[in-house]
Each structure stands twice: as C-alpha cells, then as structure tokens.
C-alpha cells in the first residue's frame, strides 16, 4: 500500500472504531456509546455481529504489518468483550464501558507513531478527506 492508501485504511479503521464504540453521546451525562452495545441487545446474533465488525477492524489493522504481540492484545480485547458481552444485559453494559475497538485503535496508533511517523504528520481525518 502506498502512503495515501495507508492513510485511507487508518482513517477507515478510526471511523469504524468510533462508530462501534462512541458514536452516540448520551445527553445529560456526556457518556458516549457506539453501535456495539446496541447491536449486542439483539438476542443471539447481536454479539456475533459486533464481534464480526471488530474482527474486520483487526483485519484492516493487520495490513499495517503489526507485530504479533500487538495483534494478540487486539484479539484478547475482542475476545474479552465477546465473552463478557454474551451475558445478557450485564454484557451490554460491559461493552459500553470497555470499548475494545477504541482500545485496539489506540494500540494501532501507538505502533504507527514509532513505525510510520510520516502517517502521524498528516493523519487528521479532515486532511485526508480534503485530499479526496
């Protein structure tokens, strides 16, 4: 992937992670949730769908050539959220607070700050959007 494709991939991961974990601000308390705990409310299939989205985000992140240790941490985050998330109601509350996709995004961005600092110089979403 060239630099522009890498930036587009990174920003796609950012958008999906934020959509799944903190896209909706709850009025009055300012807490943010995403689609993950909402989808998780669907009996049976909800947690499978959410885990599928999270696995897709890890797939996109793996395209950056992440070290095995980082991928293992990302997979652990998703597995923990999927396991605890499968408990009715309590799991959905855990999903709302744990935010595994945002945690994985932070792991990816920490890695890229060291491995590909040139991406950090132009990574704001607005910059990439204005290029297109």
Q: Look-up: residue for tokens 């920490």?
A: 110
The predicted-structure confidence for 91-126, as pLDDT tens digits, reads as follows 888 989 999 999 999 999 999 998 887 766 654 544
Q: What is the DSSP string of 10-53?
A: HHHHHHHHHHHHHSEEPTTT--EE-HHHHHTTSTTHHHHHHHHH
Q: Where are the domains of the chain?
A: 3-121
The predicted-structure confidence for 18-60, as pLDDT tens digits, reads as follows 999 999 999 999 899 999 989 988 887 888 999 999 999 999 9
How many whole angstroms separate alpha carbon 109 and alpha carbon 57? Answer: 13
């Amino acid at each position: 992937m060239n630099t522009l494709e890498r930036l587009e991939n990174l920003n796609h991961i950012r958008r999906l992670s934020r959509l799944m974990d903190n896209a909706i601000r709850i009025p009055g308390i300012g807490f943010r949730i995403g689609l993950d705990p909402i989808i998780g409310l669907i009996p049976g299939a909800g947690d499978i769908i959410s885990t599928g989205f999270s696995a897709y985000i890890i797939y996109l992140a793996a395209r950056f050539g992440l070290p095995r240790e980082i991928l293992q941490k990302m997979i652990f985050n998703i597995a923990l959220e999927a396991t605890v998330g499968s408990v009715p109601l309590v799991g959905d509350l855990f999903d709302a607070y744990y935010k595994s996709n945002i945690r994985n995004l932070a792991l990816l961005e920490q890695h890229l700050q060291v491995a590909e600092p040139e991406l950090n110089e132009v990574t704001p979403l607005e910059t990439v959007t204005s290029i297109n």
